Structure 1
Amino acid sequence: MQGDTGGFPDWVQDAVFYQIFPDRFARSARVPKPGNLEAWDAPPTVHGYKGGDLLGVVERLDHLTELGVTALYLNPVFASGANHRYHTHDYFQVDPMLGGDAALAALLTAAHARGMRVVLDGVFNHASRGLLQFHDLLENGSASPYVDWFHVNRFPLNAYGGGPLGYEAWWGLPALPKLNVGNPAVREFLWRVGEHWLERGIDGWRLDVPNEIDDDAFWQEFRRRCRAVNPEAYLVGEIWTGAERWLHGDIFDGVMNYPLTRAIFGLVGRDLATDEIARSGLDGVEALGAKRFVKRVEGLLGAYPRGAVYSQLNLLGSHDTPRVRTSLGGDGAALRQAWLLLFALPGAPCVYYGDEIGLEGGHDPHCRAGMPWGRRDAWDEELLAFMRRLIRLRTEQPALRRGETRLSAPRDDLVVVERWLEGGDGAGAVGGRGAASDARAAGQRLYALVNTAGAAATVPAAALPPGRYRDLLSGGEVVQARGAALVPARGGVLLAPWS
């Protein structure tokens, strides 16, 4: 890893994020709704609303607390003309269908009382036809005081009919006019949006397609303004590929770590949903043996300053991809291996709502179904128990959150991730009481091992020193003597020294 060149928020490396698509997570009876809503459990559609809201999130915080979540990432919440709310009408108003500003304030109060941070989604590259400034442009043409807020090519504008638009739009979509961020008034407007919601208590921003605002000075000032309000504000960019430009401590703290997603899928996936994956921003996933996986991940860890590595938003799925269970072809063994690797590696893991109970769904809109609160039979209870245990272990074991990292591949179907706290001698053991404080005091080393083979794998002593270990996931004992330790077929273990 490179040396740090800027300040990164300390809390992020300890966080477990949970991503919420507000229209689909939970619906509260306290928020009035229009009558034309999709049935909650009906298959999701591109344009339909299901009526989820922010008070619904408040009412379901117990589920997130029991899961072990410590931070929420919310898809856009501002007034909009789309269920996903990436078509922003008003950057300074929470959508009334979500409960308005009061509901966000209630969520911030309730989440913070539980020790949960809240990060909002900011869409600053483009807005919507409903934005006041763009609507004025449609009404008044070249006489509009906002004519230079957008990239206008010709008049009259054609925002709703066929033919040339007359203005630049994201991906050519008429509903998403691109903002002219080169205009000082637009820059000041967007910087003020960033400040405004931090002043009201949010803990950071996830920035949508920030690479399409190809202007480092804009983002550097955005960071400066945000950090002036909250020195610990987390800024994470939606960058799908290499992010060296963005992670030197002067723009973003981390990015959505899709390259790691691809690497994990390439290692553990046997029956990938290649067509669904190809339709998403993940594009293709290359099959990887253990040795190439280790090399790929080492490259990711070495590309950025240490603070950025530990501030990455690591994920297996989002609103822009098929659900992880679907991506992996419904393969339960691959699913558990993928989650183990995600939680064993540096960075803040993020769980997309419903993935903890095994929801399935292909590319948008199918990955955006209503959370089945009323259909407990649709929940994978074994997976939920596994996720709770994995999250609890990450919380209890500081080596998994803040420790050094070493990867190895003793054979091409076995990956070993070793984590330890610098300053510990590695000799510490989990005592008979299993006390996490003992592990912290001893500077204990942990070993996450993933075996992708169809038969149990032995682990060489060079990868796992001789001794007695406890699998923190299952509670079982593993003895390593002359390379005799076994990892189950297509299984994974998280080992700690045991005495």
Structure 2
Amino acid sequence: MSSTSPGATPSLLHEPHHDGSVLYLDPEAPAPGWPVRVRLRTWVGDPVEAVWLRTSYDAEPVFHRCAEVGRDDSADGQGSVWWEGELPVHNPVTHYRFLIAGPDGTQRWLGAAGVVDHDPPDALDFRVTSHAPPPEWGREAVVYQVFPDRFARSAAADERPVPAWAVPAAWDDEVVFEGSDPRTPLQYFGGDLDGVTEHLDHVVELGATVLYTTPVFPGESNHRYNASTFDGVDPLLGGDDAYARLSAAVHERGLRLLGDLTTNHTGDTHEWFRSAVAEPDGPTRGWYCFRADGSYECWMGHHTLPKLDHTDPGLRAAMTEGPDSVVARWLRAPYDVDGWRIDVANMTGRLGATDVAHDVARTVRATAHAERPDALVIGEHNHDASQDLDGDGWHGTMNYSGFSWPVWSWLRDPASPARAFGRPLPVPRRPGALVQRSMREWVARHGWRATTWSWNILGSHDSSRIRTLTGSPEVHRVAAGLQFTLPGVPMVFAGDEIGLEGVNGEDARRTMAWDSPEGWDRTTMQVYADLARVRSEHPALVRGGLRWAHVDDDTLVFVREHPAGSVLVCARRAPGGAVELPAAALAQPTHDGAPARPVGEPEPLLATAGAPRALVVRDGVLGVPAGGVGVELWRL
């Protein structure tokens, strides 16, 4: 199936376009009270007569007229018209959309979810914030997630006694994950932090720039989300010294280290909780959500995970506020953690009528920045995180809703045994148009800045593995291609790169077979490394905008635009025919408003299946050749 040829029905590239990238919003991070230059791109064949910016000033709607500032005329009538207006950034978070007037009184709105002919809600507006931007390294990152118990064992691990709570397992044993088997959280493989340090070269070779480990604090489980203290590293992992060694080795290689902190709850063996139970009138009693009858709130009914009460000043001082808090202490030497992934961020500070979640997020961010000005804070959230991302809270989220679920629904093998994450039915297989619509709506909900700092996740320790979901190495590599080319930060769960499988989150926590590398999918591993390299070399894949160029059931084509050069991406889940795009609509825009540069000969960058192929521009048409399952990239 091919797109419309120039001169016929308009293509996706002819839609009015704006996003939060530097081509369309300047500056991207404005100072409070200063206006930003906002640009809109329309097609010369679209009879636009006038454009207004609609925003709000202290919640009162106002309109600002835009001016036509440039026109990219082309012989075939496929060029663009550029409109520009000034957007006052009066409030810390400013919402806006475009009112587009045409002939005979026609009116359309362009918001972050696309063009509509009706009056839309403000929830899908574009938005810009004058709060301080997240650290740039967080947007540039390729994150590699390690589950310490299953990643690697050092020789020292053999000398440690097996704890009383554990069910010991040999490194090549199968993971217990069926049903509610009580052994699941107790199965102990004995991976440790020195084992991680010994395999950092693998992380570097893959192109990752950030190492993120799930919790290292002691807990009576293999996952350690039921912490018994925040004052030290689990001796089973090698203790404080091993964590300091890991941190030193990570930073010597020019990488960053992210910790994992559970702010919603502790374990029931935590020293704070034991004190609260033993002393009903003691200082830590108010740190937890005890009921009048002496019982307590806990995470999702699990009595071993008592919930913390962030309305208590003592708890805040111990956990999130000030230089002596847990948040701050681990950011200092000798551990030098570069920031935190916050576990269960969506529930932290929320219980019934109480909702101090944003206060917690703001406090964690402020405390972290006071200790390390470039600290990164990412909140776990597996549904709509939009209310938690505006402004001065979490820098971004683990973007399951905006990335994982749409990609899963496009690439899922209907026969896959992979189990859905958080829903009673499997993720359905959907056509490209619905996947594109879902992605656009989630970018609108989360906002451009938060989207570009959020993590693009194909799977994690809480979900099925992408290889099991797709049922195919080739389709798995399509997923990886989208992970590294759509707006957001790729987060790779250790083992995805070699083709590890897993039916659900527990089964996904399989060990890395360091002693059996012959079983690794080396082709997929090389694709991950190549994608990381290309992403690091082309600013468009980190800071560029996003324009959709062509969508059908089995093909997604989009452009990441940037003044330094744009990148065209074609992803196919099944073999498909050639796609023809109007070349003038892809003309390379400039940051300074000068005439756009016409597309010359696109440079092949990468293909996940076979060698990169050249593109040809002929008679005003850029032709993407027919192809099989895979992802291809070209620099325009």
- Sort the TM-score into its range (normalised by shorter chain): 0.7 to 0.9
2:539 corresponds to which of 379, 384, 398: 398
2:189 to 27, 44, 50: 50
What does residue range 296-307 of structure 1 map to in structure 2 within 5 Å? 296-307=438-449
Which residue of structure 1 aligns with residue 319 of structure 2? Answer: 190
Task: Determine helix, strand or coil for the equivalent of 1:78.
Answer: coil
Q: Unaligned 5+ residue runs, structure 2?
A: 1-19, 21-126, 177-183, 351-355, 588-598
Report how many aligned residue pairs link the two structures.
Answer: 465
Q: Equivalent of 1:469, from 602, 610, 617? A: 602
Task: Tell whether the 8 Å contact from 1:294 to 1:408 is kept in structure 2 after alignment.
Answer: no
Pick the structure with greater CA Rg: 2
Is 1:142 matched up with 2:280?
A: yes
Note closer, same or farther for the CA distance 1:13–1:142 as it changes in structure 2 (3 Å cut): closer
- The answer to whether residue 196 in structure 2 is matched with residue 69 in structure 1 is no
> How far did 1:476 drift?
3.1
CA contact (8 A) 1:455 1:489 kept: yes
**Aligned residue runs from structure 1 range 93-242, under 5 A:** 93-138=232-277, 140=278, 142-153=280-291, 166-191=295-320, 192-200=325-333, 201-212=336-347, 213-214=349-350, 215=356, 216-242=358-384
Task: Give distance in 2, aligned partners of 1:324 and 1:286.
Answer: 15
Question: TM-score if structure 1 supplies the norm length?
Answer: 0.88
Distance 1:279 1:445, change over 3 A: closer
**How far apart are the structure 2 equivalents of 1:232 and 1:447?**
32
Q: Which moved more, 1:400-409 or 1:85-94?
A: 400-409
Q: How far did 1:144 drift?
A: 4.3
- Identify the residue that residue 33 of structure 1 maps to in structure 2: 160
- Structure 1 segment 397-416 matched on structure 2, within 5 A: 397-416=538-557
CA contact (8 A) 2:365 2:394 kept: yes
Matched residues in 1 for 2:616 and 2:249: separation? 45
Shift of 1:207: 0.7
More strand by share: 2
* C-alpha contact 1:66 1:388 (8 A) present in aligned 2: yes
Q: Structure 2: how far apart are the matches of 1:375 and 1:493?
A: 31
> C-alpha deviations, 1:159-179, integer Å up to 9, x for none?
xxxxxxx22211111211112
In structure 2, how many angstroms separate the alpha carbons of the residues matched to 1:236 and 1:80? 22
The sequence identity of aligned pairs, in percent, is 34
Among residues 125, 147, 161, which one is paired with 1:21 in the alignment? 147
The aligned residue for residue 90 of structure 1 is: 229
Task: For residues 46-65 of structure 1, give each alpha carbon's deviation from its aligned partner in whole angstroms, at most 9, with x where no partner exists.
Answer: 11111111111110011111
Instruction: Answer yes or no: is the 8 Å Cα contact 2:131–2:391 preserved in 1.
Output: yes
Q: Tell whether 2:126 aligns with 1:5.
A: no
CA RMSD, 1 decimal: 2.1
Deviations 1:92-144 (A, max 9, x none): 11111111111111111111111111111110111112111222344x35354
TM-score when normalising by structure 2? 0.70
Residues 290-310 of structure 1 deviation map (CA, whole Å, 9 limit, x = unaligned): 222222222222334433222
Partner letter of residue 48 of structure 1? Answer: Q
Select between 142-151 and 18-27 the one with higher mean Cα deviation.
142-151
In the alignment, is the contact (CA less than 8 A) between 2:559 and 2:567 conserved in 1?
yes
Please identify, of 292-301 and 113-122, the stretch whose mean Cα deviation from structure 2 is larger. 292-301
Q: 1:414 offset after TM fit, Å?
A: 2.3
1:210-244 deviations in whole A, cap 9, x for unaligned?
Answer: 22123122321222111111111111111111211
Q: Please give the secondary structure, in 1, of the residue aligned with 2:479.
A: helix
Distance 2:247 2:415 in 1: 38
Is the contact between residue 5 and residue 248 of structure 1 (CA under 8 Å) also seen in structure 2?
no
Cα distance change on mapping 1:69 and 1:23 into 2, 3 Å:
same
Alpha-carbon distance in structure 2 between the residues aligned to 1:270 and 1:327: 6
Are the aligned partners of 2:413 and 2:469 in contact in 1 as well (CA < 8 Å)? no
- Determine whether 1:277 maps to 2:419: yes
Q: Tell me the alpha carbon deviations over residues 329-365 of structure 1, each in whole angstroms, 9 at most, x when there is no partner.
A: x222321111111111111101000000000111132
Separation of aligned partners in 2, 1:63 and 1:453 = 31
Residues 86 and 391 from structure 1, CA distance in 2 versus in 1: closer, same or farther, beyond 3 angstroms?
same
- Given that 2:410 and 2:435 are in contact with CA atoms closer than 8 Å, whether structure 1 keeps it comes out as yes
Instruction: Give the distance between the partners of 1:180 and 1:153, measured in 2 at CA.
Output: 12
Deviation at 1:153, TM superposition (A): 2.5
Out of 389, 394, 397, the residue aligned to residue 252 of structure 1 is 394
Following TM superposition, by how much is the alpha carbon of 1:398 offset from its aligned partner in structure 2, in angstroms?
1.6
Partners of 1:145 and 1:496 in 2: how far apart?
61
Cα distance in 2 for partners of 1:271, 1:334 equals 13
Q: Which amino acid aligns with 2:431?
A: G
Aligned partner letter, 1:351: V
Aligned partner of 1:262 among 374, 386, 405? 405
Deviates more, 1:476-485 or 1:223-232: 476-485
Secondary structure in structure 2 of the residue aligned to 1:384: helix
Q: Which runs of 5+ in 1 are unaligned?
A: 158-165, 425-442
- Over 3 Å counting, the alpha-carbon distance change for 1:145 and 1:369 in structure 2 is same
Query: Could you tell me whether the CA contact under 8 Å between 1:5 and 1:305 is conserved in 2?
Result: no
> Map of 1:396-475 to 2, 5 A cutoff?
396-421=537-562, 424=563, 443-461=564-582, 468-473=601-606, 474-475=611-612
Q: Does structure 1 retain, via aligned residues, the 8 Å contact 2:567–2:634? A: yes
Q: Does the 8 A contact of 2:259 with 2:341 survive in 1?
A: yes
Q: Does the 8 A contact of 1:262 with 1:282 survive in 2?
A: no
Are the counterparts in 1 of residues 615 and 623 from structure 2 also a CA contact under 8 Å?
Answer: no
d(CA) in 2 for partners of 1:402, 1:52: 37
Give the deviation of 1:16 after TM superposition.
Answer: 0.3
Task: State the SS of the aligned residue for 2:387.
Answer: helix
CA contact (8 A) 2:144 2:212 kept: yes
1:315 Cα deviation after fit = 0.8
Work out whether residues 554 and 576 of structure 2, in 8 Å CA contact, stay in contact via their aligned partners in 1: no
Q: 1:404-463 deviations in whole A, cap 9, x for unaligned?
A: 221232544321121122xx3xxxxxxxxxxxxxxxxxx222111012343333333357
Q: Is the 8 A contact 1:487 1:493 kept in 2?
A: no
8 Å Cα contact 1:51-1:97 kept in structure 2: yes
Match of 1:289 among 423, 426, 431: 431
> What is the aligned partner in structure 2 of residue 378 from structure 1?
519
TM-fit CA distance, 1:147: 2.5
Q: Is contact 2:404–2:457 with CA below 8 Å preserved after alignment?
A: yes
Cα distance 1:447–1:222, how it changes in 2: closer, same or farther (>3 A)?
Answer: same
Moved more, 250-259 or 358-367: 358-367
In structure 2, give the amino acid aligned to 1:209.
V
